[in-house]
Structure 1
Amino acid sequence: MAQNNLARNLTEEPQPSVSEPEKVQIKRVSIGKALKLSSFEKLLIVCGSAMLTVLMLVVVSSKIALSNSQHELQHLDNQIVNVRNNNTNLKQQIGELQSSTRLDKIAHKSGMSLSNANIRNVTK
């Protein structure tokens, strides 16, 4: 039992004695005026705002130019498709007009005939 009391004595910390309440001085900080901006800081704010405005205008104008270019590209693509269709139609008409049966009919109406004796084969 003596050892138990010894352990209690070692683990207990001595309590400080408080005799009188101490007076704590509180420092009052007055916040009266905001810090003034220097002329350099004002210049930086104005230049930064101007650059931001210019960059916004550049972005908007480039977006407009891009959409105009895309519209023009789409218009040109449509024109290319139309020209290709016209070329295909014209090639088909050329093929029909050059057919030998059509040429034989026109020759027969004009009183012409095809004579094999008058045909020559030329080779190099």
Structure 2
Amino acid sequence: MAQNNLARKIVEQPETYVSAPEQTPEEVVSRNVRAAERLKLSAFEKLLIVSGSVILTVLMLLVVSSKIALSNAQHQLQHVDSQIVNVQNDNTNLKQQIGELQSSSRLEKVAKQGNMSLKNANIRNVTK
């Protein structure tokens, strides 16, 4: 096979561990105290953290209140849209009723019930 050289055996060498020099408890405490001193916050940093937290809280409340206002506005819009559809349906029904009441066959029927007759000479067309 031509690929015999691709795999090579890696010889593991034992790792040598270097032990850390022994530290006295006083050195450990002084190192921890120095680390704590470096982590103290100044008054300005505390003010920045507090003001940032307040601004973040206000912005979160603003987002929630705007979402609620948007939801209320959408609800009112749906209500107005449904009222518009109802009024349009009523208008369509009333126009259909007007057309039925103005039909010539109905007018002739009403005229016969009132003992009236239709004379073409007396008919006038009125438009708006």
TM-score, structure 2 length as denominator? 0.67
Residue by residue, what CA displacement relative to the aligned partner does 1:45-98 show, whole Å, maximum 9, x if unpaired? 110000000000000000101111111111111111111111111110000001
Match of 2:55 in 1: 51
Query: AA paired with 2:66?
Result: S
From the CA coordinates, give the structure whose radius of gyration is larger. Answer: 1
Which of 82, 89, 98 pairs up with 1:78?
82
Which of 30, 37, 42 pairs up with 1:38?
42
Pairwise mapping of residues 1-20 of structure 1 onto structure 2 (< 5 A)?
A: none
Q: What residue ranges of structure 2 are gaps of 5+ in the alignment?
A: 1-20
Alpha-carbon distance, 1:37 to partner = 1.0
Q: What residue ranges of structure 1 are gaps of 5+ in the alignment?
A: 1-24
Match of 1:65 in 2: 69
Q: Which has the higher contact order (CA 8 A, sep 6+)?
A: 2
State, as a whole percentage, how many aligned pairs show the same letter.
Answer: 72
Alpha-carbon distance, 1:106 to partner = 0.8
TM-score, structure 1 length as denominator? 0.69
